[in-house]
Amino acid sequence: MTPAREPAAPTPLATPTPTPTTVGATTVGAATAPAAPEARALPVLGSVLDFRKDILDAMHQGWRDHGDLVRYRLGPVVVHGVSSPELAGVVLTDSATYGKLGADNPLRLILGEGLLTSDDHESWMRNRRMMQPIYTKQAISRMFESMAASTADQVAHMAATYRTGDVVDVHAEMMRVTLDIVSRCMFSTDVERTRDISPEAVELAVNYAFDRLQNPFSPPTRWPTPRNRRFQAVMRRMDTMTYGIIEERRRAAASADRRGDGAPDLLDMLLDVRDADTGEGMSDREVRDEVITTFGAGHETTAITLTWAFYLLSGNREVLRRVQEEVDEVLGDRMPTMADLAAMPYALQVFEEALRLYPSAPIVPRLVLKDTVLGGHTVPAGSRLLVNLYNIHRHDRHWADPERFDPERFTAGARKGRHRFAHMPFGAGPHLCIGKHFALMEAHLLLAALVRRYEFRHVPGHRVVNQASITLRPRYGMSMTAHARTGAAGTAR
């Protein structure tokens, strides 16, 4: 198949063929093992400017030049880039040696100490165990109705807003619908109160946190800079909304005035969870942190990958034709039901291949807790590790023709024998994303419903450039023309 390419976008860097390295601890002591090769850097600043300009490009260059483990300096901070499934497997499964960033994690400014950011193992394990039943496939399937309602509203919105051939920012539209889905699933009857938390507000907060992660010279958050004030204003709105709804739900539950208008939403379930040993539930702060984690991360990641999926489909007519035929055969002129998803496996494979080429959260940070040896190189305590999924998902020891867009990589047969850390868009090890089933069901539904109604064609000349922060979004949005498909019910004007 021909890979999807945008002529105006930067030409992808060639995939390196790093020298194979020894994985994990070796017989060489940490005191005598050589340091990892260091990327070229400026005095004092190190690689700060390269990382701020384009962290993925800088790390890809380091990988191409030096192999699977590369040392960078960000001012006084030492960072190691990890770019192979073998090394990533060691890092992500050994939490005694490689922990989360702890107090240095700027995401805590947004998410507090939820599952994504907590480095207190006992607290994390307690909350993960309590929350796990909420996010099983069976539990998530009960939210399909809310997802389907949002999806139908999105289709109606596009039909009312755009004529066939109009230019649409697909990224903005995907952010719009996924934010509506997570709002309905989390807050149900209180969904109208989330309208003040826009995709732009979420983006501002995420960019703020990422800039602090890669720039050790960021001013303290307490300084009254314009950017600090904007961030704090967004967080005040989020907290006011979230704590207000939590308080009202607890008060209603205490007075036996629990809403009785259907299945409990995610917030109801978070308020109901109990520790099996103590019988205690989660505090307001713990509930708030998990709500914001789901609300903030749970919509943007899916929206971004759907955007990339439609971009890739627009550049590969054969893949587009196959997914259209599958969707048409199963759905005809109707919206998808829960039962339909299993009958449309190729649509899900398209999404998974988009996740490979454009992992929505491309970098997983870790803090080295004790001196160790990784891949035959010493890695000192206190340094950071950046597990680079963008590089790992393109590693030519594990992927044939890695730059090519090919959903066939995700058939049941193709998955067999693949290194289990070669594709990990939802993380891996004990910290595998708890919302994985939610995201896959949501994406599968949206992709099928929108392919049924529209064909999106990339606007020639529109620049497509990666912008890596906490997530991997298109820097200039995604301008595409929306063409209502012949025979689709309720076509656009």
* Per-residue model confidence as pLDDT tens digits over 69-88: 999 999 999 999 999 999 99
Q: What gap in Å lies between CA 305 and CA 328, rounded to an integer?
A: 22
- pLDDT value for 106: 78
488 pLDDT more than 80:
no
pLDDT > 70 in the chain, percent: 90
Q: At what angle do helices 345-357 and 436-453 cross, to 10 degrees?
A: 110
Spatial CA neighbour of 13 closest among 388, 439, 420 = 388
- pLDDT value for 118: 84
327 pLDDT more than 90:
yes
Spatial CA neighbour of 287 closest among 111, 427, 102 = 111
Burial of residue 416, with CB atoms counted within 10 A of its CB: 0-12 exposed, 13-18 middle, 19 or more buried: exposed
Averaged pLDDT of the chain: 87
Q: Kindly give, in sequence order, each residue whose CB lies less than 8 Å from that of residue 124, ignoring residues fewer than 6 positions away.
A: 115, 118
Q: Kindly give, in sequence order, each residue whose CB lies less than 8 Å from that of residue 170, ignoring residues fewer than 6 positions away.
A: 306, 307, 310, 311, 456, 477, 478, 479, 480
Q: What angle do CA 106, 110, 114 make, to 5 degrees?
A: 95
Average pLDDT over residues 164-181: 95
20 pLDDT more than 50:
no
Give first-to-last CA distance, the chain, whole Å.
34
Q: What gap in Å lies between CA 358 and CA 134, rounded to an integer?
A: 28
115 pLDDT more than 80:
yes
Structural domains of the chain ordered from first start: 48-484 (1.10.630.10)
Average pLDDT over residues 273-285: 92
pLDDT-based confidence at 165, cuts 50/70/90?
A: very high
